[in-house]
């Protein structure tokens, strides 16, 4: 009979140890895992035109919008580019302090650890698309996150044809890799 009690005690210790290891592992991962599909999060800060910080289940996540690239306003060792402040302001107007729905890309993180996602407002507005339509962003298609590449390219072309936003104000808007500078004419 004492052997049975020892086996129960050993099993209890093993169970307690396993639960402790799982608890520590979940804490070290920064809280909740990010779902594969769409999920809701609270925007706590707008970093710039294409990056936000959200709160999801008590943890903060830096989110980089998929498919768009706005002019740089906070990149270290990079001057503020033409239309950067306007792009950031538009992003703030659309999402600051609101809940958004994030849909992670096929490749959910970039090399900086940011969550890569399509972003929608509570009313269903595709924020990535809105930035392109307003001329506040250029398309940036990086495989495998190309689900909306054709749609986004069409929106950029329409904004460019209308000379909306940066397309009408920034001389180097066509030069996708270069700095954006104000037009002189």
> Where in the sequence numbering do the catalytic residues fall?
64, 72, 114
Coil/strand/helix, residue 65: strand
Backbone angles phi, psi at 78, to 5 degrees: -130, 125
Cβ–Cβ under 8 Å, residues 95 and 121: yes
Residue 71 has which token pair? Answer: 């002019």
In DSSP terms, which residues pair with 126 in a beta bridge?
120
Q: Please, are residues 65 and 43 in contact by the beta-carbon 8 Å criterion?
A: no
For residues 118 and 148, is the Cβ–Cβ distance under 8 A? yes
Contact call for residues 135 and 164 (beta carbons, < 8 A): yes
Q: How far apart are CA 68 and CA 61, in angstroms?
A: 19
């Amino acid at each position: 009979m004492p052997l049975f009690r020892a086996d129960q005690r050993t099993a209890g210790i093993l169970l307690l140890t396993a639960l402790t290891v799982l608890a520590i592992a979940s804490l070290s991962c920064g809280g909740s895992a990010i779902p594969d599909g769409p999920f809701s999060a609270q925007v706590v800060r707008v970093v710039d035109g294409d990056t936000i910080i959200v709160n999801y289940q008590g943890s903060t996540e830096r989110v980089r919008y998929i498919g768009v690239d706005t002019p740089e306003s906070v990149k270290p060792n990079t001057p503020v580019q033409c239309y950067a402040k306007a792009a950031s302001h538009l992003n703030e107007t659309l999402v600051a302090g609101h809940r958004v729905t994030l849909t992670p890309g096929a490749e959910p993180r970039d090399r900086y650890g940011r969550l890569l996602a399509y972003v929608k407002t509570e009313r269903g507005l595709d924020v990535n698309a809105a930035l392109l339509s307003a001329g506040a962003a250029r398309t940036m298609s990086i495989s495998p996150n190309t689900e909306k590449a054709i749609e986004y390219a069409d929106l950029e072309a329409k904004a460019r044809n209308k000379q909306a936003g940066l397309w009408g104000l920034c001389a180097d808007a066509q030069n996708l890799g270069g700095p954006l500078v104000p037009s002189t004419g």
